[in-house]
A and B are shown apart, each in its own frame.
Chain A
Amino acid sequence: MPVITYRDALNQALREEMRRDPRVFLMGEEVGVYQGAYKVSRGLMQEFGERRVIDTPITEEGFTGVGVGAAMVGLRPVIEIMTWNFSILAIDQIVNGAAKMLYMSGGQVKIPIVIRGPGGAAHQLGAQHSQSLESWYSHVPGLKVAAAATPYDAKGLLKSAIRDDDPVIFVEGETLYGSKGEVPEEEYLVPLGVADLKRRGNDVTILAWSKMVNVALAAAETLANENVSCEVIDLRTLRPLDERAIADSVRRTNRCVVVEEGWPYAGVGAELADVIQREAFDDLDAPIERVTGADVPMPYAKNLEHLAMPAADRVVQAVRRVMYLD
């Protein structure tokens, strides 16, 4: 099976879906001539032309709104936000436009739009450019939210997102673009709303998504040396949530640690903790632990940034706490 980067997996997904359906088009800053700020759209303008790969001014609210309008009249736009930090400018179009249109039109107007781009911190980009905002969008009824951790999932999920008739918030990982993984040549889809077991284990369930899956897997590897068997579940979709996979796993392991890059307060991890206490209360042997980003604007200083991010050693500590090993 070919091994390709996460970036190229996304590129394949876009290319295949644009070939498959002429209503699909890509719009955003630098997606065309420059071939994408992160080179996700490499070669697409050459293949599909300027009418389907559209460079925009630096106007997030404007071009997101154009996307919502295009979706209303039957096209299937893919809007690239250079990073999710900039989506704050477009949030009115996303939350008040895309998310509510189906409801407010009495089911008459679907919004099959995908809004995608990288989320989370990279390296020393400062407080305004290092945010994980997926919990904001997960909060909104009418939106679906996906966040892939591997090239395989990135491609399969993006294809499903483009084919979905509802607005999908597609959060990529800025530091994942160069990561590599196996991606089959034949076509496949990864359905929205289905979590994936990334590592099987018996003692504790670690829930993660996007690049935190790698943090969880690293922690699991360390803990395996201490004879602690961790199950790592990659949620892949934050809304709709695969509650069943979560509950089934925790019922088996009796313990859970949630790893989340974003801030703790009202984060996705809080929702997960709620699901678990409801669905698996009698099977819990310990309170659910959360490992999150620090509850501060991301520091610019390298050492502080490092401390503010969830890391494998903190996951290891959390697992040790729920296992009562300390």
Chain B
Amino acid sequence: MASRVVMPKLSDTMEEGRILRWLKQEGDRVETGQALAEVETDKATVEMEAYTNGTLRRVFAPQGQTVKVGSLIAAIGAPDEDISAIVAEAGQSHVGSGLQAGTPGSVAAPGPSPTPAPSPTPAVQAPRPAVARPARAAATPPARQAPSLAPRQREGGRSYRASPLAARMAAEAGVDLTGIDGSGPRGRIVKRDIEAAIAGGGQQPAARAEAAERAPVVRVAVGRQGAPEYEDVELSQMRRTIAKRLVQSKAPVPHFYLTIDVAMDRAWEAYRALREEKGTITINDIVIKAVASALRHHPEMNASFAGDRVRRYNRVHIGVAVAVDEGLITPVIRDADLKTLEEISVESKTLAKQARARRLQPHEYTGATFSVSNLGMMGIDEFAAVINPPEAAVLAVGAVRQVPVVENGTIKIGYRMKATLSIDHRVADGAMGARFLQTLKRLLENPLLMA
């Protein structure tokens, strides 16, 4: 019986996906586990696997089209099989009618089609999501699917098999499994392969660059003199997610802002000393550490507005905004209040690197209880950030500047930094925010107090 292929849900937050490229063409033979298409989700570019054997009979969603999760995008069946029922369904749901990418509500609704099926009902099957999870990931599985022996895949597309130990070692060492040729049976990546990779300085994710190279489609409007008056750059999935998320924040969340000036002389001294010693600590690491400690003292700021109540979190997970080519993402340092400055530094560095390579796993960028955004390194003295819901606040950190300060009637050179707290007024008020900032200031001005 012919099978419907629908857009799989490839991440927690995925609602729609864009077909970047069909890897199989109509008429091609496909096997279970083979990559059918590259799909751009809101977070990453992922290969979508076939979940059945057969011939790719029809493609309903052309390359470049964005469709909702659950929408019919192709049919797989025997070469001579009657697939008119599926084709009829596709026609009914308007998929494949050349709609503009991203037009809201224009694509097929998920779920079983209301079309009466004249012939035997085609088997519904979503392709297996191809997002791999590290062995100990706390993230929920991308979707519930029948177990499959097909090799696991990662964002960017290459498949791998690995022993549990190898998977864990790779996760701990930050080695990308997709770049490794396993030496075990059927290409299984085993301990010695990871050891070799670590010894060889890790692997470069080759597939990553490929995805980045693919330029977005640009439509150009030609002006009177023949010069373009404007160009329309199609939204990447990440830009689309940022747009959606921040409207979700700024419109319903009543923001207000508090700015404080912090004397960073001692923090700067500590930073210089640590930098000499360890070579990796940044001012932002010190800020994260201070924020995490301050949140311990002010649990009212480590909270969410939850409709009829305020939820205070017992654990402190700090989201750290990281700029990437297409936008930004906030990887999370979990239990930051329990970590040493050095641990925070190592982790934020690793996460930022992963973020820039678009290799973050969902559990690495979700679940923050408070965020820090720092534009100091880009010369910004002061700014206000938009809250990332459901968090109740975000701290926007500016540059540490050398400024003249008046002390005991004389002018001397001091280090100062401005930090602006954006707060969800439903959760906290000005005085609460101010007290938090006072604690933060006290910690940054006396770094030894950060336990």
Contacts and interface: CB of A to CB of B under 8 A. Distances in A.
The reply to whether chain A is a binding partner of chain B is: yes
Interface of A: 254, 281-286, 324
A282 B164 contact: yes
Interface in B190-208: 190-192
B185 interface: yes
A286 B190 CA distance: 8
B184 A286 contact: yes
Nearest to A286: B163
Given A324-B183, A324-B184, A282 B165 contact: yes
Contacts of B263: none
A282 B135 CA distance: 7
B166 interface: yes
B278 interface: no
List of 7 A-B pairs having minimum Cβ-Cβ separation, nearest first: A285-B165, A285-B191, A285-B163, A282-B168, A324-B184, A284-B164, A282-B164
Interface string B44-56: 0000000000000
B120 to A, nearest CB: 40
B219 interface: no
Contacts of B244: none
B136 interface: yes
Interface in B163-190: 163-168, 183-185, 190
Name B's interface SS. Answer: helix
B191 A254 contact: yes
Contacts of B136: 282
A284 B191 CA distance: 9
15 contacts: A254-B165, A282-B135, A282-B165, A283-B165, A283-B168, A284-B163, A285-B163, A285-B164, A285-B166, A285-B191, A286-B163, A286-B190, A324-B183, A324-B190, A324-B192
A112 B168 CA distance: 47
Contacts of A281: 135, 164
Interface of B: 135-136, 163-168, 183-185, 190-192
A285 B190 contact: yes
A286 B184 CA distance: 9
Nearest to A324: B184
Contacts of A284: 163-165
B125 to A, nearest CB: 29
Given A281-B164, A282-B164, A284-B165, 20 more contacts: A254-B165, A254-B191, A281-B135, A282-B136, A282-B165, A282-B167, A282-B168, A283-B164, A284-B163, A284-B164, A285-B165, A285-B166, A285-B190, A285-B191, A286-B163, A286-B184, A286-B190, A324-B185, A324-B190, A324-B192
Nearest to B191: A285
Between B168, B183, B191, the greatest number of chain A beta carbons within 10 A of the residue's beta carbon is seen for: B191
B183 to A, nearest CB: 6
A283 B190 CA distance: 11
A285 B190 CA distance: 6
Between B164, B167, B184, the greatest number of chain A beta carbons within 10 A of the residue's beta carbon is seen for: B164
Contacts of A283: 164-165, 168
A282 B137 CA distance: 12
A254 B162 CA distance: 13
A164 to B, nearest CB: 37
Contacts of B183: 324
A285 B166 CA distance: 7
A287 to B, nearest CB: 8
Contacts of A324: 183-185, 190, 192
Contacts of B191: 254, 285
A321 to B, nearest CB: 9
A66 B54 CA distance: 67
A324 B188 CA distance: 10
B185 to A, nearest CB: 7
A324 B187 CA distance: 11
B187 to A, nearest CB: 12
Contacts of A254: 165, 191
A324 B182 CA distance: 11
Nearest to A321: B185
Contacts of B190: 285-286, 324
Nearest to B163: A285
A255 to B, nearest CB: 9
Nearest to B171: A282
Nearest to A281: B164
Nearest to B193: A324
A285 B164 CA distance: 6
Contacts of B168: 282-283
Contacts of A285: 163-166, 190-191
Nearest to B165: A285
A324 B166 CA distance: 13
B197 to A, nearest CB: 14
A284 B183 CA distance: 16
Between B167, B168, B183, the greatest number of chain A beta carbons within 10 A of the residue's beta carbon is seen for: B168
A249 to B, nearest CB: 14
A285 B191 CA distance: 6
A286 B186 CA distance: 12
Between B135, B136, B183, B190, the greatest number of chain A beta carbons within 10 A of the residue's beta carbon is seen for: B190
Contacts of A282: 135-136, 164-165, 167-168
Contacts of B192: 324
A299 to B, nearest CB: 31
Contacts of B163: 284-286
A282 B164 CA distance: 5
A189 to B, nearest CB: 37
A247 B190 CA distance: 19
A282 B185 CA distance: 19
A154 B183 CA distance: 43
A324 B165 CA distance: 14
Contacts of B164: 281-285
